[in-house]
Structure 1
Amino acid sequence: MIRVVVADDEAMIRVGVRSILATDPGIEVVAEAADGREAVELVRAHRPDVALLDIRMPRLDGLAAASEVRAAVPQVAVVMLTTFDEDDYVSRALGGGASGFLLKAADPRELITGVRAAADGAAYLSPRIAHKVIAQLDGGRLSRAAEARRRIESLTARERDVLALVGHGMSNQDIARELFLSEGSVKAHVSAVLARLALGNRVQAAIIAYEAGLVHTET
Structure 2
Amino acid sequence: MRKISVVVADDHGLIRDGIQAMLKYEDSIEIVAEAENGLDATIQVEHHEPDVVLMDIMMPEMNGIEAMKKIKDTSPRSKIILMSMEISEEFISQALECGVSGYLPKDVRKATLISAIEKVNEGEEFFDPKVSEAIFRNYYKKKTKGPSAVTKGSGKISKREEEILSLVCNGMTNKEISDQLFISVRTVDSHKSHIMEKLGLKNTVDLIKFSIKNGFIEI
Q: TM-score, normalised by structure 2?
A: 0.71
Q: CA contact under 8 A between 2:143 and 2:213: conserved in structure 1? A: no
User: Which residue among 114, 117, 131 is the counterpart of 2:119?
Assistant: 117
Q: 1:25 aligns with which of 24, 27, 32?
A: 27
Equivalent residues in 2 for 1:87-166, closer than 5 Å:
87-139=89-141, 141=143, 143=145, 146=147, 149=150
Q: CA deviation at 1:110?
A: 2.1
> Distance between the aligned counterparts of 1:93 and 1:148, measured in 2?
27
Residue 122 of structure 1 aligns to a residue whose secondary structure is coil
Q: Report whether the alignment pairs 1:81 with 2:83.
A: yes
TM-superposed CA distance for 1:33, in Å, is 0.6
The one of 41, 44, 47 equivalent to 1:45 is 47
Superposed displacement of residue 121, structure 1: 0.6
State which structure, 1 or 2, has the greater radius of gyration over its C-alpha atoms. Answer: 2
Say whether the 8 Å CA contact 1:100–1:123 is kept in structure 2.
yes
Q: CA deviation at 1:93?
A: 1.1
**CA drift at 1:94:** 1.5
What is the CA deviation profile of residues 132-171 of structure 1, one whole-angstrom value per residue up to 9, with x for unaligned ones?
2223334555638x56749xxxxxx9xxx8xx6986766x
Whole-Å Cα distance in 1 between the matches of residues 98 and 60 of structure 2? Answer: 19
Q: How far is the alpha carbon of 1:50 from its aligned partner?
A: 0.4
With over 3 angstroms needed to count, the CA separation of the structure-2 counterparts of 1:88 and 1:139, relative to structure 1, is: closer
**C-alpha RMSD of matched pairs (Å):** 3.6
Structure 2 residue runs of 5 or longer lacking an equivalent are 152-156, 175-184
Partner in structure 1 of residue 16 of structure 2: 14
Distance 1:40 1:207 in 2: 30
Q: Distance in 2 between matches of 1:132 and 1:69?
A: 25
Figure out how many residues of one structure are paired with residues of the other and give that number. Answer: 194
* Letter paired with 2:32: V
Q: Check the 8 A contact 1:55/1:81 in 2, yes or no.
A: yes
d(CA) in 1 for partners of 2:25, 2:79? 21
Post-superposition Cα deviations, 1:26-76, rounded to whole Å, max 9, x if no partner, equal 111111011111111111111111011100111111110011111221111
- Tell me if structure 2 keeps the 8 A contact 1:94–1:203: no
Distance 1:140 1:43, change over 3 A: closer
Q: Secondary structure at the match of 2:61?
A: coil
Match of 1:205 in 2: 206
Report the CA distance shift for 1:63/1:142 in structure 2 as closer, same or farther (over 3 A).
Answer: closer
Corresponding residue of 2:61: 59
Cα separation, 2, equivalents of 1:70 and 1:124: 18
Shift of 1:90: 1.2
Unaligned 5+ runs, structure 1: 151-156, 171-175
Q: Structure 1: how far apart are the matches of 2:56 and 2:149?
A: 32
Identical pairs, percent: 27
Shift of 1:120: 1.1
The structure richer in helix per residue is 1
Amino acid of the residue matched to residue 15 of structure 1? D
Pick closer, same or farther for the CA change 1:35–1:137 going to 2, 3 Å. same
